[in-house]
Copies of this chain bind each other. A is one copy, B any other.
Amino acid sequence: MLSFENDYSEGAHPKLLQALVDTNFVQQVGYGEDEYSLRAKVKIRAACQDPEADVFFLVGGTQTNAVVIDGLLSGTEGVVAASTGHVNVHEAGAIEYTGHKVLTVPEKDGKIDAEDLRALLSGFYADPTHSHMVYPGAVYISHPTEYGSLYSLAELTQLRDVCHTYGIPLFLDGARLGYGLMSHETDVTLPDIARLCDAFYIGGTKVGALCGEAVVFPRHGAPKRFITHIKQHGAMVAKGRLLGVQFDALFTDDLYFEISRHAIDMAEKLKTGLAARGVRFFRNSPTNQQFVILENGFLKQLEGQVRFSFWEPYDEAHSVVRFATSWATPEDNVEKLFAYFDE
């Protein structure tokens, strides 16, 4: 079956698997102190153009969001997110489980608008009862967002400015960061992100790794005793090499960027091809997730032949569905998909 269901349907990029095989019997110390992890951190710092960045490897996205956000916030603080933010919707309350409220602003194309953020923050401090309320203590954004959209450099800079005015950190969820960085429509680079954010992660799970997210705190910005904090949250892996080897490979010879570009190329091909076939798009997405509006009867026909993600009902007769490409999408599969629309 043809699957565009998501960007984690396959295992890992073959170079990562090969690196795991090649290093398998070299004895290493555990808990992220292995030589591969150390080497990967050096490469990531270089790619971020921040030699002072603190880098940690965690396993998955929800875990990373909870561990980082709980690390950035003090007890009386919550995190600001777009209403559609992954932490607000699809993480089973993992943030609240750590004791913190998710404070929301309405999404604008899946993003937080800097003016909405400024309004929330200034409104909070203007409210004479705010000491009885949750303090906004950090801002969470995803890039690409849950809708595939991207912040422009100007937007990111504005958000950073608002955050810094109020003395709170800006955290960027980069579960699909590679696909954002390689978009044809972005003006944001990895060093930009390292410069503008106080914390972010470079997603591995959805960009070629078996698992793994590289958390970066630019400018030696890691919360105190972050290793113990990771352990306490059950997020420490004994064989840290599993993550180190993979990120070492991903950041060797620009592999991370190269495979991300492939996903974008495939998404562009899919987008152009579907548009040419009269398919309506629910939102414009410059990244690897494409949201289209299809007739329910047609979706029925695709069943058992093409896999995609149901997103939400559109109207009585139509649904919004998501087609995702990835580092692993064969060009051929896109062509095959078109065939279903040509029938």
Q: Residues on A close to B: CB < 8 A?
A: 1, 3, 5-6, 8-12, 14, 17, 20-21, 23-31, 59-67, 70-71, 74-76, 78, 89-94, 96-97, 99-102, 128-129, 131-135, 205-206, 210-211, 224-225, 227-229, 231-239, 241-242, 307, 310, 328
List of 4 A-B pairs having minimum Cβ-Cβ separation, nearest first: A63-B234, A11-B24, A92-B231, A93-B134
- Which residues of the partner chain B approach A30 to less than 8 Å between Cβ atoms? 6, 8-9
Contact A237 B225 (CB under 8 A): no
Given contacts A63-B235, A234-B94, A237-B60, contact A29 B11 (CB under 8 A): no
Given contacts A94-B233, A239-B8, contact A225 B25 (CB under 8 A): no
Additional A-B contact list (19), CB under 8 Å, known A62-B236, A96-B101, A135-B228: A3-B27, A5-B27, A9-B28, A9-B30, A12-B24, A59-B59, A59-B211, A64-B234, A92-B131, A92-B232, A93-B134, A94-B232, A128-B310, A132-B236, A135-B225, A206-B238, A211-B211, A211-B239, A211-B242
Q: Which of B11, B99, B133, B134 interacts with A20 by CB under 8 Å?
A: B11
In angstroms, Cα B233 to Cα A26, docked, is 32
Given contacts A62-B231, A76-B229, contact A238 B8 (CB under 8 A): yes
In angstroms, Cα B234 to Cα A67, docked, is 9
Closest chain B CB from A141 CB (angstroms): 19
In the assembly, how many copies of this chain are there? 4
Q: Which of B26, B91, B310, B328 interacts with A132 by CB under 8 Å?
A: B91
Contact B17 A238 (CB under 8 A): no
In angstroms, Cα B236 to Cα A228, docked, is 21
- Which residues of the partner chain B approach A94 to less than 8 Å between Cβ atoms? 231-234
Q: Which of B10, B31, B71, B99 interacts with A27 by CB under 8 Å?
A: B10
- Which residues of the partner chain B approach A239 to less than 8 Å between Cβ atoms? 8, 11, 205, 210-211
- Interface SS of chain A: loop
In angstroms, Cα B131 to Cα A87, docked, is 14
- Which residues of the partner chain B approach A102 to less than 8 Å between Cβ atoms? 101
In angstroms, Cα B94 to Cα A103, docked, is 14
- Which residues of the partner chain B approach A23 to less than 8 Å between Cβ atoms? 11
Closest chain B CB from A97 CB (angstroms): 5
Given contacts A76-B228, A94-B231, A238-B206, contact A9 B29 (CB under 8 A): yes
In angstroms, Cα B236 to Cα A28, docked, is 26
- Which residues of the partner chain B approach A307 to less than 8 Å between Cβ atoms? 27
Given contacts A74-B224, A241-B11, contact A129 B90 (CB under 8 A): yes
Q: Which of A21, A26, A62, A241 neighbours the largest number of chain B CB atoms within 10 Å of its CB?
A: A62
Closest chain B CB from A212 CB (angstroms): 10
In angstroms, Cα B66 to Cα A184, docked, is 43
In angstroms, Cα B233 to Cα A91, docked, is 9
Q: Which of B5, B92, B101 interacts with A93 by CB under 8 Å?
A: B101
Closest chain B residue to A209, Cβ basis: B239
- Which residues of the partner chain B approach A71 to less than 8 Å between Cβ atoms? 75
